[in-house]
Structure 1
Amino acid sequence: MERVIAVIGPTAVGKTRVSIDLAKLLETEVISGDSMLVYKRMNIGTAKPTLQERAGIVHHLIDYIEPVEPFSVTDFQQIAAQYITGVNRRGKIPILAGGTGLYVKALLENYQFNETPGDSEFRQHLEKLAEQYGNDYLHAMLARSDSQAALRLHPNDRRRIIRALEVQELGGESISQTKERPELVYESVVIGLTLERAKLYQNINFRVDQMMAAGLEEEVAELLRSGVSPDCQSMKGIGYKEMVAYLQGRMDLSSAVNQIKQATRNFAKRQLTWYRRMPYIQWFSVDEYDSYEKMMETIYKCIAGKFCLK
């Protein structure tokens, strides 16, 4: 069985640093599990590690496609699996640096996704219904056509509700569901990092301020000037859609920054909710250690015990 080490946790908890330092210790490579880091020219708003921060460690699935190109969880699942195989064949254990819970879970558990293709007109129709009548209206539609899927999905999870309606209407399928007892397809150690909520939110707010100081506004403006449409999947990411609204005159700068902070905090909460579905995570609370070095020593011992490392 192929081996992999995953480092996951909410945004701004410190996954990047831990992943890179583990890669140094194990003399291995990092595979990004973040849905936004795949895009070229989107560096500041994605908190993409710089070349200096990467410290010579090979990183896969960073700067992989242009911002106008689509990228899905199934794309990630297939491509990341190939990288895991390649790194294992070189006698190393890859570090999966996760940020997108669905991506990591789908990869580690080898999700089988619905084959029904998407239909943009049907999705747009459903989006309009949601805008007009609210998310509860779509959820009620789903409850009538696929009651089991409706029970699994929160009424505000509009994206997945729309996909569930799409596969039901166009393919007669029920949207993919996870197993109650997930089975890992890799020999894995999944490290989860947590932080006391107030401190995590402080980190998030500070990171957004850093992004603004580093030039997030200009990064988004340049993307728009280069022809990247605000409707592109990449521009729907937190930080980008708010800056687009500001640059288009639909919001003042202070409101845009505050919305980025709020949306990022909400995202962190959703991430933690998602990770509760992954019972194989071994959690490490960052603020319970006297030093970063002590935490890294404990994490390394956990990995070494699993893989019989020195």
Structure 2
Amino acid sequence: MKPIVLCGPTASGKTELALELACQSNGIILSADSRQVYKCLTIGTAKPQGSYQNGTYTVDGIPYYLVDFLDVTATCNAGTFVKQARQIAAENPGRPLIFAGGTGMWLHSYFVGMDDLPASTPQTREKLSALLAKSGKEGLHQALMELDPLSAQNIPAGNVQRTMRALELCWLTGKPASALKSGNFFKLPSPQDSAWVYLAWDKESLNARISARTEQIFDGMVCETKTLLSRGYTPDTPALKSLGYPQAVAFLQGKLSRAQAVEQVATLTRQYAKRQRTWFNRYTNALRLELATKQDFCPQTLAAQILHFANQTALPPNMVK
């Protein structure tokens, strides 16, 4: 069976559905969540509760890879994810692979590929910030026009972040940023190699789920934050920059009330979900599961439909309700 990719915004039920899929198919799960990788962050990242068995994180008897393995001071990127995911796949020949997560760039990098571009440096970021402060976004765009007219034509002058990144690539590589791009960013994954499933919740329903989950997990997030701070970690520790944890820090410092912190976390999570929806909507050959109510989300039924879908050779656009 081709790998199944469960994608969608935060709080859409990917973990629960992945576990049911693994149960029905005797598969293994590979998490594509950039925050569940951290040790010590469980409740606040909605990491599935599990334990290590023979060196493998296991949830209800199901191997659940790429969670709970990274120190809170470390960082993880798409390249690391792809390397480790390929190794896990190679070590489990014959086992159905179920990828589940909302970090879209990691999934895209694994199944489609991304351009291997140099990372930002403090020096270039400082230089870009100084140029922006001095010349504004128009001056920034003009500098890009001089080095890379093609990128400048394709990037609106008002899109400061994209302009800065393109200009930064020109400086770092000595080549036009447009010459470094393969086009993989815009490609769709091959339906012969993987079956993508998008959990397309109604916006209002998803926002309600986000609000309910934020209220449910916030106190646990505060406990996790308090524990890390008591061990000497600082608020700028990479793990504590994860969504919601800065608000937990502010609450512990008395800068926010609990109600204010919860509302801020819910708002930021809704904004993150919007960006995820924008990213995953690109996958027009994915199976869209249109969901609006609790009754729509029946993992047993949906898993059976997904497995049937994954075993098909043709992959027409589909709608399931």
CA spacing shift, 1:38–1:239, aligned 2, 3 Å: same
The answer to whether the 8 A contact 2:31-2:64 is kept is yes
**CA–CA distance in 2 between the matches of 1:139 and 1:180?**
25
> How many positions carry a matched residue from both structures?
300
- Residue of structure 1 equivalent to 2:285: 280
SS at structure 2 position matched to 1:187:
coil
**CA–CA distance in 1 between the matches of 2:135 and 2:10?**
28
Report the structure, 1 or 2, having the larger helix content. 1
SS at structure 1 position matched to 2:105:
helix
- Residue of structure 1 equivalent to 2:36: 37
* Alignment map for 1:1-310 (pairs within 5 Å): 3-51=2-50, 54-87=59-92, 89=93, 91-114=94-117, 116-124=118-126, 126=128, 136=137, 140=141, 143-144=144-145, 145-146=147-148, 148-149=150-151, 151=154, 158=161, 162-173=164-175, 174=177, 176=181, 177-184=183-190, 187-213=193-219, 215-287=220-292, 292=298, 293-306=300-313
The answer to whether the 8 A contact 2:197-2:286 is kept is yes
Superposed CA offset, 1:52-94 (max 9, x none): 892111011101210101211111122112222322x2x1121
TM-score, length of structure 2 as denominator length:
0.81
Unaligned runs of 5+ in 2: 52-57, 315-321
SS at structure 2 position matched to 1:305:
coil
TM-score, length of structure 1 as denominator length:
0.84
Amino acid of the structure 2 residue aligned with 1:123: R
The Cα of 1:169 is off from its aligned counterpart by 1.4
Moved more, 267-276 or 183-192: 183-192
**CA–CA distance in 2 between the matches of 1:302 and 1:222?**
44
Amino acid of the structure 2 residue aligned with 1:191: V
**CA–CA distance in 2 between the matches of 1:78 and 1:179?**
19
Superposed CA offset, 1:245-266 (max 9, x none): 3334443332221111011001
Amino acid of the structure 2 residue aligned with 1:121: Q
Superposed CA offset, 1:20-72 (max 9, x none): 11011111110000111111001111110112892111011101210101211
The answer to whether the 8 A contact 1:109-1:185 is kept is no
Give the % identical residues.
28
**CA–CA distance in 2 between the matches of 1:141 and 1:73?**
31
The answer to whether the 8 A contact 1:109-1:183 is kept is yes
**CA–CA distance in 2 between the matches of 1:276 and 1:96?**
17
Structure with higher Rg: it is: 2
The answer to whether the 8 A contact 1:68-1:229 is kept is no
**CA–CA distance in 1 between the matches of 2:157 and 2:85?**
29
**CA–CA distance in 2 between the matches of 1:135 and 1:250?**
33
CA spacing shift, 1:199–1:112, aligned 2, 3 Å: same
Amino acid of the structure 2 residue aligned with 1:92: R
The answer to whether the 8 A contact 2:12-2:201 is kept is yes
Amino acid of the structure 2 residue aligned with 1:305: Q
CA spacing shift, 1:278–1:208, aligned 2, 3 Å: same
- CA RMSD in angstroms comes to 3.1
Superposed CA offset, 1:138-196 (max 9, x none): 963774444554635895684x6554333221212416453544354971111111111
Moved more, 188-197 or 249-258: 249-258
**CA–CA distance in 1 between the matches of 2:60 and 2:111?**
27
**CA–CA distance in 2 between the matches of 1:134 and 1:45?**
41
CA spacing shift, 1:257–1:137, aligned 2, 3 Å: farther
CA spacing shift, 1:260–1:140, aligned 2, 3 Å: farther
